[in-house]
Amino acid sequence: MILTFIETRDGKVKKSSLEALSEAKRRAAELGLPAAAALVGPAEAAADLLKYGPSAVFHLEAPALAAYSAQGFAMALADLAKDVSPRAIFLAGTAMGRDLGPRLAARLGVSIASDCTKVAVENGGLVFTRPIYAGKAFLTFSLKASPAVATLRPNVFPLIAPEAPAGEVVRREPAVAEGAVKGWVAEILREKGETIDVAEADIIVSGGRGMKGPENFALLEELAAILPRAAVGASRSAVDSGWIGHAHQVGQTGKTVSPTLYFAFGISGAIQHLAGMSSSKVIVAVNRDAEAPIFKAADYGIVGDLFAVIPALKTELKKTLAE
């Protein structure tokens, strides 16, 4: 079996977890194996998951799992893995997946394939591809020990369409001893108004040094507000100048992203920035300098003043998206 850990936030299943489950289903079918899911969260979320066609949804419940902790969740999943002996365990490469995946792998005595952008079946085994050096190179490899634990980059793997529910929900109480968990989430604080992170956004509207100052990032926020599932990103120099928080930084020392559409406004395209966003499906660059390296990475470029282009773009986008 390929087991996919399903992450819930506020009781809702994360889209990136469904992407991981979708990929698990495709690869499991190729291997002739079932694809099951494991979830910590409300019973309704577990039941709802059946329409994505897992052979079973293991609904894990224990007092020690009330708040997220990598330690407790790793214990619960390792306990399940010992029982069901999966060939592989997939997790979404989210903040939680990147926190929990390696801990779970170490508990099972196996290494990990982190932040994969491709999973394939070769000679009856799984082969993983992932960007290294933030996308300056791609490593393809297999994992010798079983189960193969992998985190899958959000926004890369296509979702399967929901179908008539098959499978069943299996309720389990994993053995997680009270007191064994020594660190947990005590509280979740939300950034004001911010709902979508650059790592998960379908569209990223990024600004660099050409934005000239913190006040002009409002222009990007306005643009992002028009677009569906869009977030504001930034180059390192904009973040280092204190124009916007570092959580927005895209690049080798920030976040590596793969949105459907990436706008680079006033970003020259330093190699460390390009590394972090060049796997975006479509890249648009707007820059005054026709020689800026960003234009080599872009699918569409406008050489011009971004302060004139952004308002025009807002008008056009509003018009087109309303159609």
Partner 1 sequence: MNILVFVKRVPDTESKIRINREAKAVAEEGLNFVISPNDEYAVEEALRLREAKGGRVTVVSVGPEEALTTLRKALAMGADEAILLKDDLKEAYDPLRTARVIARYVRTKDPSADLLLFGRMSVGADNSAVPAMAAELLGFPQAGVVTKLEIEGASGTALREIEGAVEKIAFSLPAVVSAQKGLNEPRYETLKGIMAAKRKTIPIIPVAELGLAPEEAALQVEVVSLEAPAAKQAGKIIPGTPEEAAAALVAALRNEAKVI
* Number of residues this chain uses to bind partner 1 (CB under 8 A): 107
Q: What is the C-alpha separation between 148 and 143, in angstroms, rounded?
A: 6
Of 95, 159, 177, 225, which one interacts with partner 1 (CB under 8 A)? 95
Interface with partner 1 includes 52 (CB under 8 A)?
Answer: no
Residue 147: asked if its preceding bond is cis (omega within 30°), the reply is yes
User: Segment 104-143, which members bind partner 1 (CB under 8 A)?
Assistant: 105-107, 109-112, 114-115, 122, 127, 130-143
CB 275 within 8 A of CB 133: yes
Q: Which stretch binds partner 1 (CB under 8 A): 44-52, 164-172, 204-212, 303-311?
A: 303-311
Q: What is the C-alpha separation between 37 and 18, in angstroms, rounded?
A: 10
CB of 56 to partner 1, least distance (A): 26
Binding-residue pattern over the window 263 to 292 for partner 1, x denoting contact by CB under 8 A: -------xxx--x--xx-xxxxx----x--
Q: What is the C-alpha separation between 173 and 88, in angstroms, rounded?
A: 22
C-beta closer to partner 1: residue 56 or 94: 94
CB of 175 to partner 1, least distance (A): 16
Q: What is the C-alpha separation between 70 and 104, in angstroms, rounded?
A: 8
CB of 47 to partner 1, least distance (A): 25
Please state the φ and ψ torsions of residue 173, each to the nearest 5 degrees: -115, 95
CB of 58 to partner 1, least distance (A): 21
Give, in order, the Cα–Cα distances in Å from 238 to each of 136, 199, 241, 252, 265.
22, 18, 5, 14, 11
Interface with partner 1 includes 316 (CB under 8 A)?
Answer: yes
- Tell me how far apart the terminal alpha carbons of the chain are, to the nearest angstrom: 45
Q: What is the C-alpha separation between 208 and 267, in angstroms, rounded?
A: 4
C-beta closer to partner 1: residue 16 or 56: 16
Binding-residue pattern over the window 248 to 267 for partner 1, x denoting contact by CB under 8 A: -x-xxxx-x---xx------
CB of 184 to partner 1, least distance (A): 6
